Structure 1
Amino acid sequence: MRFLFVLLFFTFLTTQNHAQGIDQPAVDFQSAKVQITMDPAQEMVSGTVTFDINILQDTDQVLIDAKNLVEFTASSTTHPSMTSSQNDAGIVLKYRFRESEKTTITIAFKSQPTKAMYFIDSDVDGRWEQAWTQGQGKYTSNWLPSIDDMNEKMEWDISVTAPDDLTVVANGNLISKKGEGDRMTWNYDMTNPMSSYLVAVVVGNYAISTATSQSGVPLDMYYYPEDEQKVSSTYVHTKEIFDFLENEIGIAYPWQNYKQIPVKDFLYAGMENTGTTIFDDQFVQDELGAVDRSYVTVNAHELAHQWFGDLVTEASGTHHWLQEGFATYYAMLAERHIYGDEHYHVNLYEQAELLNEQNQSGKSTALLDPAASSLTFYQHGAWAIHALRDLVGDAAFKAGIKRFLKEYAFKNATTDDFLDIMSQESGKDLASYKSTWLTNNQFPSNEALRLLRKDLFMEAYLQLLARRISPFQEALNSYKETLQPPVQKQMVLEMVGQLSLHEDTRKYDLLERAAATNNLEIRQLITLTAQEINDYNKEMISGMLTDASYATRENALVLLWNAATDKARLLKTAKKAWSTTNESLDMAWLTLAINSTGFSNNDRTAYLGQLQEYTKPIYSTSTRQIAFDYLIALGYLDDQNYLDLYQAALHHNYRFYQYARKLVNEQYAKEANKPLMDKVVELLTEREQEKLRLGTDL
């Protein structure tokens, strides 16, 4: 399922097949064979999908979910007199189907998806260079006739024809490639069933780095050819995570292979399509960038979903924690394996703090509420599993997990299905557990605290946390003890955060000692929490200008620039010392240079031009947003930037287009901007202008 920052709503009116809420007589979709063609000159999909269906009871119709169809025809080799029609729900197939019959139905179609498949034209030349799908929450039926109900699982085989200079990735094993002219057809085969929302297709320019798990599973790690030097830092620990999870869960990885593909402007951090994780390419980082934006958590979370969500799928949204809570929990276990017990327990504490805040805000709901927040499904869900393991013990927990995954493999399950197995394996009545952790409208903070206190490290950590409200003199001895070997990173990070609240100059000696640990996270936090440069910290912060972290460099640069008398000299010296930068650090440097004396007017004009380039669609949404913010603060949006802003307001990423539309309205409210903005908007197509009017107050 999508990782973090997502609120999901699922409604399932029946355990039988249905199309968009319309009751459908019981039929069983066994398999689907997809053959599609994708043309970079069109944001459309054309092809066929052939279903093998078992009729479980007499019926005169079969429903197939399908939206955004430009055209379609339906035929059946087994029932040639079958007729078809289309309504708001999808495709209606009419025939007197009889119980125990088997039928084969082929839908030839052309679709123009408005969601669930996205076409990326980052150079705005009218031809997309990358396309990818996101079925969860938007449904695969937006581009491919399929079945939205996740309780319907079938085996999918997918063939995609695309230009021969592009790579096609889909679920399953690549069994063949066949070229014809300037086209290549990629044929992928699956051997086990899955829900339609897990169907995945990616088309783009990729290379592959391969590895093999301890158990022999192929691990394919895709990357853009120009990012070859970033592969090891991006996919660090991938094999280790895979081997750990397979051993910890105790059930062999259930699919033929495992592929990970970065894509541009993805809607979320990642998505665990069956055997095929798609993730945001902003996690593709060199060694310095990986310190600031690590893929490890997303990597582990999406891999855990291959068991919890893909192998065994929730029966309805009420049981969503069986996917998100478990993926979050097992990702935490993988991180504990890599980073240690202290990391794991501090992570639990930080999640509990967020859940406590949700309690206090009055927004907390039961974990079994299908309208619960992402925080509840993910973090509360992980806590519930941690508590269950503590209650039943390791042996019973692991035995229960293995049995649950075996009994419901390639099926759907409910919370009671899971609890029944856990109760049988442990011999414990779990009614009290269920009321405390699953149906309680509040996160059980006191019980979480009790569990945290069972760990000796956490007892010491909680004592240090209590110093947050202590005067500096009272906390000083605790801070000194924190820096005694063996130094615990989590303890030092908490101390650094607390020191930012104190003004006593003795804190700088403690910060110097913390920085001397040479831990990149600690040093980064020191620059992030420093409020100013003074005689006590100037040398320390100056030394961090060349740390192996772009974020640390940026934080240090801004602090030093604010205090510098010769700002241009500082900027030139810093830039000379860096062999590499990233977009965020580069934009910060350019913005500071534009605001610094000591550079010629020609230089500053050139720097402004470089900064203005970052609003273009070729860059990520996060980079573009930072660039817009800088340029607005400087008052330097030109016609190209306004065009980029209008296009951003039409973007497929919800958070980004909401940001852009708000910005459009704010800028248009200023009378001085209206003439240029009115002129630029005419450069958009009529369709784009109409979409813009519907999405803004203009």
Structure 2
Amino acid sequence: MKSFSILFFFLLTSFAFSQSQSIDVQNITAHVTINPDEKQISADYRFSFLTKSKLDTVFLDAKNLENIKFVNTEFEIYNSGNKLFFIGNFKKDKTYTFELTYQVKPKQTVYFIEKHPEIDHSAQVWTQGQGKYTSHWLPSLDDMTDKIIFNLSYTFPAQYELTANGALVSEEETEDLSTRHFEMKNPMSSYLVAFAAGNFKAVRDTTDSGVPLEMYLPEQYNDHFRFTYQNYNEIFSILEKKIGVAYPWQNYKQVPVRDFLYAGMENTGLTIFSEEFIVDEISYNDQNYINVHAHELAHQWFGNLITEKNSVHHWLHEGFATYFALLVEKELFGTAYFENQLFEDAEQLKLLSDRGEGEKIMSKNASSLTYYKKGAWALHALRNRVGDAVFFDSVKDFLNQNAYQIVEVDDFLKILEDKSGESMLDFKKEWLQQTSFPAEEALTILRKSEFIDQLFKLKLKRNKPIKDKILPLKNALLSKHNAYLGPEAVLQIISEKGVQREELLYLAFSTDNIETRQFLAKNLKQIPKDLKEKYEELLKDQSYVTREHALLNLWMNFPEDRRDYLAQMKGQEGTIHKNIELLWLMLKVATEKSKEARKAFHQLTDYTDSAYAYQIKRQAFIYLFQINKLTDQSIINLSKDLNHPVWRYRNFVKQLLTELIKDQNHQADIIKLLEKDQLSNKEKVKDILKV
């Protein structure tokens, strides 16, 4: 390698912004070796590109590569730490290939979940490169407008199961290592390159249209397959029929991982999603994977097959994926479900708009609410304006005409104009380019529904006394749509007083509707004695969320029966993140001073350890804080998570430490642990302490 002046480095950096118009990176091939123990990636790497003009410099984005060795190159190479620059005489319309080897310890994008000594299945390695982060482990182009064919092989410890983009074309096994070779047929953006490895087991199937499917679960959750992947074939078929374009990739795989940064990520042909959507028959009723499943699958067309030019056009990814996921749910759960979701989203968007916090859909920095929910609403309004035939035919033509290409909003609107014979300028202005939410048009669309009209009229009765709305409240609780009308009725009943209130509450308990009873468990904090027995029935509901809230509220309302409630709920874990068990442990510690209570305290403390998912740790920390039982070990464990990859949890950790130092005793304990060098992330702790 040759050293270059600072001035030359800046010239190289400025050149980087215009490269996509000068070269076409055609393929990237690499043999990637994963070393989980060292948290290291090494690779034999090759990339080929065609020049569109005469050049003297070409670059790849490559973060923090080490031990780089180039194979037989006449060009000069410069590694800036962020990019690799190839310098020499590049001729126009010629294909060039570079080969190199490297090592890297990724600072992000590749996440290593360490194996815990007592939990054999805990180790995982997975990627999250959305945006422009794949270059932290694989040299590529941090620009979604560059489409490249990736053919990657992976060597990894044999105890892992690994899946990645593309078709598996060959594999080799030794005693300690496995190697798998994957091929892609069509080009994609580099941020969609992904792999996941862990103690996974796959169920394989084929869709009605012949697409191979692979659905993974951690081995310990094999019995959760049926409910986690509920309706998987129907979801695929519904989307193919609604979109009107065949699935564009060789196969489709899905794998849940621990401590994932988001709900899910639509890597090409490989959705990685949060393990919180691993559910059994009961937790399916609390939070299932259906919407995330449909949303990420829809992205295989909207985002992966066609890709936005820049974030101004992000509607073409998230608005479309959100809307088509809703169309899937409409087929699976019914029209009332679909309309209720649209109604709730419209209420939320109108509230923001009325506060002056609305955003344009066509904006570089809009919120997820705008891109996803307002974006979906824009499509629903558009469909109502032009009719189903024009709408769905336009979507089909838009995808077919722009397959594997970069697109803008106007590319879609132009097709709509041609098919409808109408200008899309008003739609673009009213729905995509103004900050306010077009609530009047949304309400007009919603009021076409008899169910929504009934829901709307019920909401308008919120300020009326209970004696003037007994019949509408009863009708709501007894309606075939009580899953959506019931919670609204309960909300109005709870705020009232008197005999009529308790009669209506009794009726609400008697509906046996999961959503209505869950709403009761969450919101009826003061339990009338006459309804105690009905409320206690919630402890057996087919909802872990209902059981959790019911246990806490019964424990709060009836101190004399606390031991009985704890005995009844002993041994129940709840969701895979132990919502009932964690609450039970906290209540046990708060109720008794027995040997079993001390054991419960130690178990609750153990759940703050790095061996567990952040959802478990967060709740354990919350409960220990609430009962003022945070020990030195808990605080040591808390400090480790100041650099946790999930930013929401990382912020929680910082906030909890900030709260702890307000107490002089806790502050003294933290300072003592810091002085003894027992805390992790010491500088961050000092910053919180202001020392």
Q: Which of 630, 641, 651 matches 1:658?
A: 651
Listed one character per residue, the Cα deviations across residues 316-339 of structure 1 (whole Å, up to 9, x for unaligned) are: 110001100001101111111111
CA distance 1:241–1:94, shift in 2 (3 Å): same
1:134 touches 1:271 (CA, 8 Å); kept in 2?
yes
1:37 touches 1:161 (CA, 8 Å); kept in 2?
yes
Secondary structure of 2:84's aligned partner: strand
CA distance 1:605–1:488, shift in 2 (3 Å): closer
Q: Tell me how far 1:476 sits from its aligned partner.
A: 1.5
For 1:329-340, list aligned pairs within 5 A: 329-340=323-334
Q: Does 1:223 align with 2:212?
A: no
Secondary structure of 1:355's aligned partner: helix
Q: Does 1:96 align with 2:92?
A: no
Q: Which of 473, 481, 487 matches 2:475?
A: 481
Query: In the alignment, what sits opposite 2:61?
Result: 65
2:58 touches 2:85 (CA, 8 Å); kept in 1?
yes
Query: In the alignment, what sits opposite 2:105?
Result: 112
Secondary structure of 1:622's aligned partner: helix
Q: Tell me how far 1:50 sits from its aligned partner.
A: 1.3
Q: Tell me how far 1:117 sits from its aligned partner.
A: 1.2
Q: Tell me how far 1:690 sits from its aligned partner.
A: 4.2
For 1:241-640, list aligned pairs within 5 A: 241-484=235-478, 486-575=480-569, 583-596=578-591, 599-640=592-633
5+ unaligned residues in a row in structure 1: which ranges?
Answer: 1-16
The RMSD of aligned alpha carbons is: 2.3
Instruction: Give distance in 1, aligned partners of 2:428 and 2:405.
Output: 23
Q: Tell me how far 1:225 sits from its aligned partner.
A: 0.8
Secondary structure of 2:462's aligned partner: helix
Instruction: Give distance in 1, aligned partners of 2:678 and 2:494.
Output: 52
Q: Tell me how far 1:155 sits from its aligned partner.
A: 0.9
Q: Does 1:209 align with 2:190?
A: no
CA distance 1:18–1:134, shift in 2 (3 Å): farther
Q: Tell me how far 1:684 sits from its aligned partner.
A: 6.4
Instruction: Give distance in 2, aligned partners of 1:683 and 1:592.
Output: 33
Amino acid at match of 2:55: T
Q: Does 1:643 align with 2:636?
A: yes
Amino acid at match of 1:30: Q
Query: In the alignment, what sits opposite 1:187?
Result: 181
Q: Tell me how far 1:94 sits from its aligned partner.
A: 0.9
5+ unaligned residues in a row in structure 2: which ranges?
Answer: 1-12
Instruction: Give distance in 2, aligned partners of 1:260 and 1:436.
Output: 37
1:571 touches 1:589 (CA, 8 Å); kept in 2?
no
Instruction: Give distance in 2, aligned partners of 1:175 and 1:618.
Output: 35
Comparing 259-268 with 582-591, which one deviates more in the overlay? 582-591
Comparing 63-72 with 322-331, which one deviates more in the overlay? 63-72
Listed one character per residue, the Cα deviations across residues 421-451 of structure 1 (whole Å, up to 9, x for unaligned) are: 1111221111111111011121111111111
The share of aligned pairs that are identical, in percent, is 35
Q: Tell me how far 1:95 sits from its aligned partner.
A: 1.9
TM-score (norm 2): 0.93
2:132 touches 2:144 (CA, 8 Å); kept in 1?
no
Instruction: Give distance in 1, aligned partners of 2:622 and 2:140.
Output: 42
Instruction: Give distance in 2, aligned partners of 1:609 and 1:457.
Output: 51
Comparing 390-399 with 517-526, which one deviates more in the overlay? 517-526
Amino acid at match of 1:121: E
2:319 touches 2:376 (CA, 8 Å); kept in 1?
yes
Comparing 368-377 with 512-521, which one deviates more in the overlay? 512-521
Q: Which of 162, 165, 171 matches 1:171?
A: 165
CA distance 1:87–1:693, shift in 2 (3 Å): farther
Instruction: Give distance in 2, aligned partners of 1:695 and 1:566.
Output: 42
Amino acid at match of 2:499: T
CA distance 1:19–1:406, shift in 2 (3 Å): farther
Listed one character per residue, the Cα deviations across residues 45-76 of structure 1 (whole Å, up to 9, x for unaligned) are: 11032112111111111111111222323446
Q: Which of 44, 63, 74 matches 1:48?
A: 44
CA distance 1:19–1:466, shift in 2 (3 Å): farther
CA distance 1:19–1:150, shift in 2 (3 Å): farther
Q: Does 1:152 align with 2:141?
A: no
Comparing 120-129 with 162-171, which one deviates more in the overlay? 120-129
Amino acid at match of 2:201: A
CA distance 1:42–1:591, shift in 2 (3 Å): same
Query: In the alignment, what sits opposite 1:3?
Result: none
2:201 touches 2:217 (CA, 8 Å); kept in 1?
yes
Listed one character per residue, the Cα deviations across residues 123-179 of structure 1 (whole Å, up to 9, x for unaligned) are: 289999211111113521122111011010011111110011111111011111112
Amino acid at match of 1:246: E
Q: Tell me how far 1:697 sits from its aligned partner.
A: 4.2
Listed one character per residue, the Cα deviations across residues 197-253 of structure 1 (whole Å, up to 9, x for unaligned) are: 000011211101122211111221101111111111111122111111111111111
Secondary structure of 2:282's aligned partner: helix
Instruction: Give distance in 2, aligned partners of 1:227 and 1:99.
Output: 55
Instruction: Give distance in 1, aligned partners of 2:666 and 2:117.
Output: 25
Comparing 338-347 with 556-565, which one deviates more in the overlay? 556-565
2:47 touches 2:97 (CA, 8 Å); kept in 1?
yes
Listed one character per residue, the Cα deviations across residues 1-42 of structure 1 (whole Å, up to 9, x for unaligned) are: xxxxxxxxxxxxxxxx99864656510011111211111211
Q: Tell me how far 1:679 sits from its aligned partner.
A: 4.5
Q: Tell me how far 1:631 sits from its aligned partner.
A: 0.6
Comparing 482-491 with 217-226, which one deviates more in the overlay? 482-491
Listed one character per residue, the Cα deviations across residues 462-486 of structure 1 (whole Å, up to 9, x for unaligned) are: 1111112222122212112224454
Amino acid at match of 1:43: K
Instruction: Give distance in 2, aligned partners of 1:26 and 1:611.
Output: 59
Query: In the alignment, what sits opposite 2:28?
Result: 32
Secondary structure of 2:603's aligned partner: helix
Amino acid at match of 1:642: I
1:75 touches 1:107 (CA, 8 Å); kept in 2?
yes
Amino acid at match of 2:54: D
Secondary structure of 1:248's aligned partner: helix
Q: Tell me how far 1:505 sits from its aligned partner.
A: 3.1
Listed one character per residue, the Cα deviations across residues 506-528 of structure 1 (whole Å, up to 9, x for unaligned) are: 23333333333322122111111
Q: Which has the higher contact order (CA 8 A, sep 6+)?
A: 1
CA distance 1:484–1:578, shift in 2 (3 Å): same
Q: Tell me how far 1:410 sits from its aligned partner.
A: 0.7
Listed one character per residue, the Cα deviations across residues 90-124 of structure 1 (whole Å, up to 9, x for unaligned) are: 11011211111011122322112111111111528
1:546 touches 1:577 (CA, 8 Å); kept in 2?
no
Q: Tell me how far 1:460 sits from its aligned partner.
A: 1.7
Secondary structure of 2:469's aligned partner: helix
Instruction: Give distance in 2, aligned partners of 1:89 and 1:643.
Output: 34
Q: Tell me how far 1:600 sits from its aligned partner.
A: 4.8
Q: Tell me how far 1:670 sits from its aligned partner.
A: 3.0
CA distance 1:374–1:697, shift in 2 (3 Å): farther
Instruction: Give distance in 1, aligned partners of 2:615 and 2:311.
Output: 31
TM-score (norm 1): 0.93
